[in-house]
Structures are given as C-alpha cells and as structure tokens.
A and B are shown apart, each in its own frame.
Chain A
Amino acid sequence: MWIIKHRTIFYTFSIVLVIASVFSFFKWGLNFGIDFTGGTLIEVGYDERPDQGVLQEQLVALDNSATVRPSGTSGYLIKMKPVDQAEKAKVMDILKINENASTTINAELKTFDSIGPVLGKEALRKSAVSIVLVILGIVLFITFAFRKVSEPVSSWKYGLVAIVALVHDVIIPAGAFSVLGHFYGYEVDTLFVTAILVILGFSVHDTIVVFDRVRENLRTQGKRTSFENIVGDSINQTVVRSINTSLTTLIALVVLYFIGGKATEHFSLALIIGIAAGTYSSIFVGSALLVTIEKWGKKNL
C-alpha cells in the first residue's frame, strides 16, 4: 500500500530530522539544568522589580558565574554555583528577601534550589543507565514476544527494527530541546529524562500493534501474498487505532501544556514532540523497515 510504496520518502524525512538533531547536539549541546550540573536556582517575585543590572553586579561579586534573567513581568530567575548557608544569607540580602526590606519591593521567594555537584553527577549517571535499561528491556520483550515468527524475517530483526524506531523517537525530542535550549533557555532536567522514558514506553505500543497484526496475517495468509503486501495490509488495518490512541494522549498533553501550570510545561512539550515522533515512526518507518530488511535478505540469497 502507499505507505510501503513510498517508504523512501518517509525514511528520508526521518533521516533529515535525525541528522538535524544530531547536528544541533554537536553545535549547541544540551542545556543541562542544575539537576545535572549542580548549582543554585532561585526564583523571586516582586511587586516592584529592582534593577536587573544592579542585582547582577552584586551577585557577581559573590560568584562570577551568577546570572539574572527576568521571569515573566515581575520576577527574576537567578542561576549561580551551589551556595552554603553563609552565602545564601548574603544572596537573600542582595535579593531583598528579608525582614528589613522595604514594603514596595516586597520580594517573595518562589523557589530556591541548591544542588551540590555530587548529586548532580549521580543524577546524570542514573538517567543514562535508566534510558539504556529501558531500551534493552523493551527490545528483549519484543524479541521474546515475537520469537515464533521466523519467516521471512527472523524474530530478532523485529527487535532490531524496534531499536531503530526507539532511538529515532529519543533523538528527535532531544534535538528539539537542544535547539530550544540554545535559543530560549529550555533546560534538560530530570523531568525531561522522565519524558524520554515515557516516550520510549509509549512509542513501542504502536509498533507492537502493527507487528502483532503482521504476525497474525502471516499465519493466515503467509503463503498467499508477498510479505510486502502483508505488511501493507497490517498497516492499513491498524493505522486508525494507532492514530486514535496517540490522539487521545496528545489531547491530554496539549491541555496540560496550556493550563497545567509552569512546573510541567516543558515536560508536556517534550512528551508531545516525542509521542508525535513515536507515532510517525511506528506507522511510517517501523513496518516499512521490516519490508526493507526482508528485501535485503532476499538479495543476499
């Protein structure tokens, strides 16, 4: 069917996105938040915001990596190295968060996070391992679930196709956040890693559904039509279901993005990008790859 026929187009689209993402990694890297680098993040709200330059100057005197960014219309976001209690008192003074402050300034401490570097590195390591483990777990599961399907594509190749789809689904949101990180300061924190893991678990859903169908159709029609047709039919039969499932989840996520509050804003964005990418890869790339692999197998005979 047409998805399989034009699979080259879809491969190309995916490859372009992946290359763009990888390019972005090399050029701009990922903007890691203090969850991973350690440091201090302070968000303050004011009735009447003091001058940004003055604050920056005073903070830089304590730590020359300190930065002050406006947050919304009446607040500031301050980033600096981890502070101990003595330094924290000085910072609070500078930001006018203490009892002696005048009432017009009226500073309100919204959040204060100070994370030591040891904790940060640990979080980074745990995140990397989690991602690897989840990918491994899922691939093993697929290989196991499809172990009895050896013709014309051996079962471990199903697992392989799943890996390709998963890696694709992880690189694209990461690439998006690399770009967003560079231009808008979006940060990669532990919630982002959580989003990636959810994307991994979710994207495999649709892939499994199609593979399931392929397996079933192989059983009933294996001898009658070509593998390519079987896969095409399978996609046909499952595409509505795939789109609808992703659609309902995306609805929930879009709503969350717009009215769910700031804490989960970037989280839902990462999920939206990832699940969209995941649905695309399952429908347009994953199954098509099965056909490609089968054709390569034939060529080598």
Chain B
Amino acid sequence: MLFVVAIIIGYFVYVSSLPNSKRPFILGLDLSGGSLLVFNADVSKLDPADVKASMTALRDDVEKRINVFGVSEPLVYTEEGKSLSSKEGAYKLIVELPGVTDPDKAALAIGATPKLEFKVISDEDMKENSLMMENLNSTSSEQQNFLALFKETGLNGTMVGRASLIFDPTTNAPAVGLSFNQDGRKLFSSITKAHKGDYLGIFLDDRLIQAPVVREEIPNGQAVISGGFTVEEAQTLVRNLNFGALPVPIKLISTQTIGPSLGNEAVKGGINAGIVSFMIISVFLLIWYRLPGLVAVIALGFYAVIMLAIFLLAKVTLTAAGIAGFIITIGMAVDANILIFERMKEELVNGRSVSDAMHEGFARAWLSIRDSNISSIITGTILYYFGSTSVVTGFALVFVIGVFVSMFTAITASRLFLYAIAPSRTTRLSTFLISNGFTRMK
C-alpha cells in the first residue's frame, strides 16, 4: 500500500517539475497581459432555428480575421443565451488576444462589415444632377437629394463570390475586381439589361464612390470598381469583401486591456503569497497539533502538488483571482485535517488508546467534513455557472477543484500517514504527540 503511495508521490513530483520545460501553466489574460474584446451579437433578424449555426459561423469568421494579424494563440468564443442574460445581451462574441495591448486595429478588422450596394439612377436624373458627381464627399442637402434618386436594385456585397486586387492596365491605378456568385450574376445581368444607358451607382458603406454608365448587358458577372483607391484601401476592400459580411452583425460593448507589467506583478505576488502562507500555516500546525500537525503539513504539501498537477494536465487557465482561490483553499484544506485531529483528541480525553482514538477520529469526523464542504461546493458551482467574467469563473473553477482535492487528500494521505506512524503503545509521550492544544490530559 505504501509502495503505491510512493509511486504516486514520485509521479506527481515529476509532473510538477515540468512547468519549467515543456508545458507551462496557462495564464489568463490578467496575468499574461493582453486584451479582451466583448461584442454583442444581434440575432434579432435571424430565424431562431439558424441562430446556433450562425453563431458558429460567426466565430469561425472572426477567427479567420484575427489570424491575419498573427496574434499568438488568440481565443475566439461565443456565449449563448445563458439564463438571466438581458434580451439584448444574450448572444455574445468574446475575443481574447494575449499580448496585444493595442486592440483597436483588431477590433476594427473584426467588426468591419463592408456594405457594398449597387443602385441605379436614370439617365435623365443623372444628366440633371451631373454637378453632384464632382464632389462625392459632400454632405449638403442637395447631395442627399441626389443620392436619394438612386434606386435600390437588391444587388449587394453578399453576392460577390470573389474580389481581387487588380491594376488598371493603362494607369496602373489599383482597383477592385468583382466576380459575382450565381445569384449575383443573374441579378447583375438583368439590371444591366434593363438599364442600358442609365448609371449604376456603387455605394460603399453608404458612400457613393462611383457611377459608371451601363453600356450593355453584362452576363458574366464581372465588374470592376475603380473609385480612386490607394493600394491599401483596395486591399482592405478586397479582404473585407472576401471574408464577406459577418453572418451576424456585431457591436463592440466592452474592451479590457491589461499591460504586461501589471500581470507580472500579479504572478509574482501570487506565488509569494502562496509560499509564505504555506509556511506560516505549517508552523502553526506543527506547534498546535504536533505530530498529527506534521502529518497535516505533509498532506498539505500533497494537496498543493496535486492541485498544480491538475492545473497543468487539465489546462486550467490561471487568473489572479484563481491564484487567490488556490491560496484560500490551502487555508481551507487544513480544515478537514483539523476536524479529524480534534476528534482524536476528544477520544483520547475519553480514555481511549492512541490507535483507537485515531480510528474513531476519522470515522466520526467524516460526516462533518462532508457536510461543511458541501456548502463550499454549492457556492463554487453557482459562481461558476453565473459568473459573468472570466475572472469569476477562473476563481470558481479553482475553488471547487480545491475543495474536492482537499477532501481527497485529508481522507487518503492524512489517514495513510497517521496510521503509519500510530504508536502501538499508549504512553504519556505518545499521547502528548498525538494530542493537541494545551489542555491537561487525564
């Protein structure tokens, strides 16, 4: 039995020495530094049956856009309709960018849904207002009236199958080549057929950038937009058109950026606090509980090692609050041990032999251990389920795992060691060693 224990010890020690080599702890954003962006996803226009699929498509889409930026290990995930979310806030898209401290460009790239629309204006209307074409950026009311003359055609950016960057053969000016998909091709064809001689206005994000005349029917779905782009503008438009409109419109509702210096401070502080509290608690245990106290300290050591191993193997993300939770559970892990020891002392006071007192101590204390830890588990589970930020859920996870592991180590490790060292004879010395506190013994 002891051999099994020794093997387990050896394994855990080995595992926990890995952190420095291949598999470091996974640190949450608040420890590694980085940004967290939360978007609200507007599913109101979607068919309820499509929502789940659309949210998945949204996630994939956004991840593609992020990867263009070369962020190391970004995390993109959706949060769907958890209970008690407000109606508007029910569906969210969350993007974690470790190491990115200036998330603005990323936020822009993620949210960009280029709105490309094609609208028709009749020949006469165009001729009447030809002056308006001189200053396309004007926002005067005459300009607005002019723009209102353009009629919707139903042809827009979602029907673009492929966009590409091309250069005008004569001027070398950058332009965007469009290749419509099947629906787009048909629509484009019918529009150009019906409006020969009229002008087709090309609107990008509600801005008119070009209005070429329709010379003939275009059946092959090819078009070129050459609205005086710079190379960069053309590239951006090509990229956005190719990524397509996002399946679900999103709006940025929260940004959080943690600079790396704060994160480092938190990690160091957490580690120091953990070590110091372990030491102080150990000293206290040794003084008050003596020999069983030593057992408790060893059990505590086990507890810490097992927890660290779990963090590594289960890839638990550590946050500042999570580290705090770990430290708190160190204090609480002692609880079960204390229960057992106090029980043992009572049995000793009642006149039992030392080894009997030990056995009785365990048996009687188990009920109390179970009951008092259940309340912590209730709390931790509710926290995890309702936690609105990763800070809270990070804490809850560590907390609940800690409670279970502490119960486990108290029942197995403590019991093992106590039985192993149980003195067979009841003498004053052994009674003193096993007892605790400073009461007088019978």
Q: Which A75-111 residues sit within 8 Å CB-CB of chain B?
A: 84-85, 88-89, 108-111
A-B contact pairs, 23 of them (CB 8 A): A88-B255, A89-B104, A111-B256, A111-B258, A112-B256, A113-B254, A115-B253, A115-B256, A118-B86, A119-B388, A122-B85, A126-B386, A201-B378, A204-B375, A205-B373, A205-B376, A208-B368, A241-B342, A252-B281, A259-B272, A261-B266, A262-B262, A263-B30
Rounded to whole Å, the gap between the CB of A94 and the closest CB of chain B is 16
B63-71, B171-179, B324-332: which one contacts chain A?
B324-332
Q: Across the interface, do B89 and A255 meet the contact criterion of CB distance under 8 Å?
A: no
* A100, chain B: closest CB distance, angstroms: 15
DSSP majority for the A interface? helix
Q: Please, which residues of chain A bring their CB within 8 A of the CB of B107? A: 85
Partner of A116, one of B84, B253, B391, B395: B253
Q: Which 9 pairs show the lowest CB-CB distances between chains A and B?
A: A261-B269, A201-B379, A249-B331, A252-B331, A116-B253, A112-B257, A205-B372, A263-B320, A260-B273
Contact of A6 with B by CB under 8 A: no
Contacts A109-B257, A118-B253, A263-B320 given; does A248 touch B268 at CB 8 Å: no
CB distance from A84 to the nearest CB of B (A): 7
Chain B residues touching A, range: 35 or more
Q: How far is the CA of A194 from the CA of B393 in the complex (A)?
A: 10
A residues less than 8 Å from B89 (CB atoms): 118-119, 122
Q: Are B327 and A252 in contact (CB under 8 A)?
A: yes
Q: Which of B262, B380, B395 contacts A110 (CB 8 A)?
A: B262
Is A198 interfacial (CB-CB < 8 Å)? yes
A160 part of interface (Cβ distance < 8 Å): no
Which residues of B are found within 8 Å of A108, using beta-carbon distances? 259, 261
For A84, the closest partner residue in chain B by CB is B252
Interfacial residues of chain A within 165-210, with CB under 8 A of chain B in the complex: 190-191, 193-194, 197-198, 200-202, 204-206, 208-209
Whether A264 contacts B324 by the Cβ 8 Å rule is: yes
Q: How large is the interface on A (under 10, 10 to 19, 20 to 34, 35 or more residues)?
A: 35 or more
Stretch at the interface among B139-147, B180-188, B333-341: B333-341
B375→A208 contact, CB < 8 A: yes
A173 to B371, CA, bound (A): 25
CB–CB B104/A112 < 8 A: no
B217 in the interface (beta carbon within 8 A): no
Residues of chain B within 8 A of A273, CB atoms compared: none
Q: Of residues 1 to 33 in B, which have CB atoms within 8 Å of A's CB atoms?
A: 30
Check if B38 is an interface residue, CB within 8 A of chain A.
Answer: yes
Give Cα A243–Cα B36 distance, bound, in whole angstroms: 41
Per-residue interface assignment for chain A, residues 232 to 269, with 1 indicating a CB less than 8 Å from any chain B CB and 0 otherwise? 00000110110011011111110110011111100110
List A residues 275-290 near B (Cβ within 8 Å).
none
- Asked if B328 and A198 make an inter-chain contact with CB atoms under 8 angstroms apart, the answer reads yes
A250 and B280 CA atoms in complex are apart in Å by 11
Interface string of A207-228 (1 = CB under 8 A from B): 0110010000000000000000
Residue B321 CB within 8 A of the other chain: yes
Given contacts A111-B256, A123-B388, A201 and B375 within 8 Å (CB-CB): yes
Task: Decide if B328 touches A271 in the complex (CB within 8 Å).
Answer: yes
Q: Does B294 contact A (CB under 8 A)?
A: no
Contact residues in A for B312 (Cβ distance below 8 Å):
none
Complex alpha-carbon distance, A82 and B396, angstroms: 28
* B281→A248 contact, CB < 8 A: yes
